[in-house]
Structure 1
Amino acid sequence: MPKPLIGISTYLEPARWGVWDLPAALLPAGYPRLVRASGALAAMLPPDEGPTAAAEVVARLDGLIIAGGADVEPVRYGAEPSPRTGPPARERDAWELALIDAALASGTPLLGICRGLQLLNVALGGTLVQHLDGHTGGRGVFGEHTVKPVPGTLYASLVPEAAEVPTYHHQCVDRLASPLIASAHAEDGTVEAAELPGAAWVLGVQWHPEMGRDTRVTEGLVRAAARR
């Protein structure tokens, strides 16, 4: 049986390698490594042109990961930017929201990681806290903290115990979108995972599984992708 194909959204950023200094589609290597370790093939998805392209891309995938990265532009959830909110990544916001919409419309298994959880919440009508202390290990350093699953959720079926997770974020869910339910929390009450109940496999986690060794969440995504 062929391995499922999991698409992962990417950054468009200036980059330097060898003699080159050019715009590049970038993705930390931990993401495709995590997908491969979970039993699937990985495909990078750089920003493209709008909803039609997103639907065509998602139609060719067995599953989708929305990767971590820049802050979501506050206008997307009806807020003014805080002084501590990062610069907007409008092209990426538009592309990843279109990918999320296409995955939800088609029933494609979807995992949001960090920013990916935040975008999933925004896509469904939720809002974000624009700055949160204590969820990094310092500038450019991943931290670690405990997340506790909510019994009876999809996430709890994958990771039933409290777990230490690698974390690096300064924004988080504020008002949870009404279709979503919280499925894990940090000790300070921060929503650390949220999911969409129903037939489709839709889960967002606030931490960075690609920086750890626990593959249970992505193995759940891959199993759902294989069933399709």
Structure 2
Amino acid sequence: MSQSQSKFRFLVAESETPEARQGRRESVGRSSGETYLGILREIAPGSACDRIMPADAGAELPTGATLSGYDAVFLSGSPLHLYEETPETHRTVAFMRAVFASGTPAFGSCAGLQVATVAAGGSVRPNARGREAAFARRITLTDVGREHPLLAGRPAAYDAPAIHTDEVEALPSGAVLLAGNRVTAVQAAEIRFDGGVFWGVQYHPEIGLDEVAGALRRQADGMIEAGLARSQDDVEAYARQVDDLHREPHRRDLAWRLGLDEQVTDGHLRRTELRNFIESLARLGREGLLAVGK
């Protein structure tokens, strides 16, 4: 990363509930926001990173900070269902609207994409084609996506870590669809609203394969209910293979067994979208990011 990139100031917005946050820590040792903090510091060494929990009552920015004072905001995954009218969803959507209004560019994964969608006037629903678990398969770029800097370096079709039970039903007016697959029509999108811009994906470029395995174990009952596994033992056997591949990413036998290639097994390639967003921000600046695609 360049010297200019090392001076970024980032804000990570983690909208997990306290219970989900604790469960994730017990499972893989870190919350979704803590995963983001670690990856951002790896991609842009020297960056200053703060974290906020917008779903929590009374959540506030650090003393003296403003949204417009950050170079970018990153929205993590979350178990929130954005179509439910709860204090947590209301607070999270209100936060994202404030991010748009501040003009600060934003990036989000999984629920982060859904939060930005609802904040800008689109809609979210339960997955119409059922749970997408462990990996999203054959994500395919749209014509616009092939030219968009968010997906630079991705092949025409690729897999990525993903586990979600909700999806974007309708993108807001003016949004651009960048990628989708057979299970989830909106896998990547650009959203512009109220002077701000958001680049996001339904999958998880930020997580490691150990976190995929942890998510499978935490959601084993849902996997069985969805017909993706017949027993807890089935889920554990699959999760153990994913864990093994995390520890030994060059194991071709494991990659073959799981049907994965380097787009997932190579950590550098797996984080393509995050790196592209940060590099685009460094190259173009805030105003330049707003001008992409216009």
Settle same-fold status: TM greater than 0.5.
yes
1:106 matched to 2:162? The reply is no
Q: Is contact 2:135-2:159 (8 Å) kept?
A: no
The residue that corresponds to 1:221 in the other structure is 277
The residue that corresponds to 2:156 in the other structure is 161
Query: What's the Cα RMSD here?
Result: 3.3
| 1:118 to partner: Cα distance | 0.8
RCO higher in structure (CA 8 A, sep ≥6): 1
Residues 224 and 105 of structure 1, relative CA distance in 2, 3 Å threshold: farther
Q: Is contact 1:114-1:205 (8 Å) kept?
A: yes
Q: C-alpha separation between the residues in 2 aligned to 1:188 and 1:216?
A: 21
Any idea what SS the aligned residue of 2:93 has? helix
Cα displacement string for residues 35-87 of structure 1 (whole angstroms, at most 9, x for unaligned residues): 12321443211236689969x541231101111112334255xxxxxxxxxxx
The residue that corresponds to 1:179 in the other structure is 174
Between Structure 1 and Structure 2, how many residues are aligned? 203
User: What TM-score does the superposition give when structure 2 sets the normalisation length?
Assistant: 0.59
The residue that corresponds to 2:13 in the other structure is 9
Q: Is contact 1:9-1:96 (8 Å) kept?
A: no
Q: C-alpha separation between the residues in 1 aligned to 2:151 and 2:192?
A: 13
Higher helix fraction (1 or 2): 2
Q: Is contact 1:149-1:162 (8 Å) kept?
A: yes
The residue that corresponds to 2:255 in the other structure is none
User: What TM-score does the superposition give when structure 1 sets the normalisation length?
Assistant: 0.73
| 1:152 to partner: Cα distance | 2.8
Residues 16 and 168 of structure 1, relative CA distance in 2, 3 Å threshold: closer
State the structure with more CA Rg.
2
Q: Is contact 1:150-1:156 (8 Å) kept?
A: no
Q: Is contact 1:150-1:182 (8 Å) kept?
A: yes
1:62 matched to 2:71? The reply is yes
| 1:110 to partner: Cα distance | 0.6
Any idea what SS the aligned residue of 2:187 has? strand
Q: C-alpha separation between the residues in 2 aligned to 1:187 and 1:41?
A: 39
Q: Percent identity?
A: 23
Any idea what SS the aligned residue of 1:207 has? coil
Q: Is contact 1:148-1:163 (8 Å) kept?
A: yes
Residues 99-138 of structure 1: pairs in structure 2 closer than 5 A = 99-132=95-128, 133-136=130-133
Q: Is contact 2:116-2:198 (8 Å) kept?
A: no
| Counterpart amino acid of residue 217 in structure 1 | E
| 1:158 to partner: Cα distance | 5.5
Q: C-alpha separation between the residues in 2 aligned to 1:158 and 1:103?
A: 28
Any idea what SS the aligned residue of 1:96 has? helix
Residues 46 and 27 of structure 1, relative CA distance in 2, 3 Å threshold: same
Higher strand fraction (1 or 2): 1
| Counterpart amino acid of residue 179 in structure 2 | A
Q: C-alpha separation between the residues in 2 aligned to 1:57 and 1:72?
A: 27
Residues 66 and 118 of structure 1, relative CA distance in 2, 3 Å threshold: same
Any idea what SS the aligned residue of 1:59 has? helix
| 1:173 to partner: Cα distance | 1.0
Structure 1: gaps (5+ residues): 18-24, 77-87, 137-141
Q: C-alpha separation between the residues in 1 aligned to 2:205 and 2:41?
A: 13
Q: Is contact 1:127-1:174 (8 Å) kept?
A: yes
Residues 185-196 of structure 1: pairs in structure 2 closer than 5 A = 185-188=180-183, 190-196=185-191
